[in-house]
Structure 1
């Protein structure tokens, strides 16, 4: 459902308060807002987020040894093959690509799980919980995509809460990178890679509309450069 986005300045103030609490560097005063007053916001449809989480689950399984034949068979039966990005296709089918970078998608999948309501929080101090994989399709036991969706009964977050979380991770991404540049100790158990992955998922899933927003990006088109 499309709704009016919350006041971006007030949301940013809350995000900066959280950075201060975590004793992280604060972005400069001209650090961009994620949206403008009067913009609208919505989440991608729940089934689309579920599909992306399921694909990342297969990608991660490949990074940890799932045979390509089983991975592709599962995706075929789930009718998700056409939703693979070109890099994902090459990695899942042929093992081509940087395995370590694909393994980092665990944190993006954590953020998607939070958006679906099957993970309780996105604590910036802690990595994805050990039990997260149990809430995703059980590939080892052959759980189908349809069976998983029936088992989880996802209840996606509201768009405003997701936008607030996005603004926080937008700021956290800058702060973690700046802290690492200054060689400051991290505030918790995760690093800038994990923060960036969570932001990636949020940037993809949260859709704004307004004078300064274009079409929603595809997964590989998400811009994390600012």
Structure 2
């Protein structure tokens, strides 16, 4: 359900305070806001969030040796094959694509898991926690999609909380890239690639409605260029 957005200026001020706490560069004054005060915000449905979480989990398993037949069979049983993007399908079915790029999806998966309540915090300076993997479908034991959903009972976070996280990671994306350009010491154990992956998941999951927002993008259509 769409709700009014939180005050974009206050949210941005909080995001910049977090950058200061992490000793990261601050974006320029003209750095754009993510939404306008007149917009509304909602999350994609829990079913969509669960499906994307499960798909990325299988993609990661394929990166680390899961056979193609087993990966596609699991997704077929889960009725998720039609939700794959073309690059994901090519990678799962024939190994085509950049394995390193797909392996980075662990950090996007971390953000998705936070959105559905599988992990309590999305730490802006630390990698995905060890507690994440046990909350995902256990593919070695052939845990089914239905069994996983029953075991974890995912529940989406409030849309305004997700929007605040998106604004923070939007700012963090710029700040990490700038810190790396300036060779400034980063605040934790992750780099701009991890931050970008988390922003990717949040940009896809958080849906704004307003004069300057189009239709929600597909997973491969998320624009991280600004």
Aligned mates of 2:209, 2:180 — CA distance in 1: 33
Unaligned stretches of 5+ residues in structure 2? none
Unaligned stretches of 5+ residues in structure 1? none
Scaled by the length of structure 1, the TM-score of the pair is 0.99
Tell me how large the CA RMSD over aligned residues is: 0.5
Query: What residue in structure 1 maps to residue 186 of structure 2?
Result: 186
Query: What residue in structure 1 maps to residue 93 of structure 2?
Result: 93
Aligned residues: 226
Q: Which runs of at least 4 in structure 1 moved beyond 3 Å after TM superposition?
A: none
Q: Secondary structure at the match of 1:208?
A: strand
Query: What residue in structure 1 maps to residue 8 of structure 2?
Result: 8
After superposition, the C-alpha distances for 1:24-70 in whole angstroms (9 at most, x for unaligned) are 00000000000001100000000100000000000000000000000
Please say if residues 119 and 131 of structure 2, whose CA atoms lie closer than 8 Å, have aligned partners that are also in contact. Answer: no
Query: What residue in structure 2 maps to residue 37 of structure 1?
Result: 37
Please say if residues 57 and 136 of structure 2, whose CA atoms lie closer than 8 Å, have aligned partners that are also in contact. Answer: yes
Query: What residue in structure 1 maps to residue 201 of structure 2?
Result: 201
After superposition, the C-alpha distances for 1:97-155 in whole angstroms (9 at most, x for unaligned) are 00000000000000000000011101111100112111000000000000000000012
Aligned mates of 2:89, 2:106 — CA distance in 1: 18
Q: Secondary structure at the match of 1:130?
A: coil
Aligned mates of 2:208, 2:45 — CA distance in 1: 14
Q: Secondary structure at the match of 2:149?
A: helix
Aligned mates of 1:61, 1:12 — CA distance in 2: 36
Aligned mates of 1:26, 1:221 — CA distance in 2: 27
Task: Tell me, yes or no, if structure 1 residue 157 matches structure 2 residue 157.
Answer: yes
Aligned mates of 1:196, 1:80 — CA distance in 2: 25
Aligned mates of 1:14, 1:125 — CA distance in 2: 16
1:101-180 equivalences under 5 Å are 101-180=101-180
Q: Secondary structure at the match of 1:217?
A: coil
Task: Tell me, yes or no, if structure 1 residue 77 matches structure 2 residue 64.
Answer: no
Query: What residue in structure 2 maps to residue 222 of structure 1?
Result: 222
Task: Tell me, yes or no, if structure 1 residue 54 matches structure 2 residue 54.
Answer: yes
Scaled by the length of structure 2, the TM-score of the pair is 0.99
Q: Secondary structure at the match of 2:208?
A: strand
Aligned mates of 2:120, 2:193 — CA distance in 1: 21
Q: Secondary structure at the match of 1:42?
A: strand
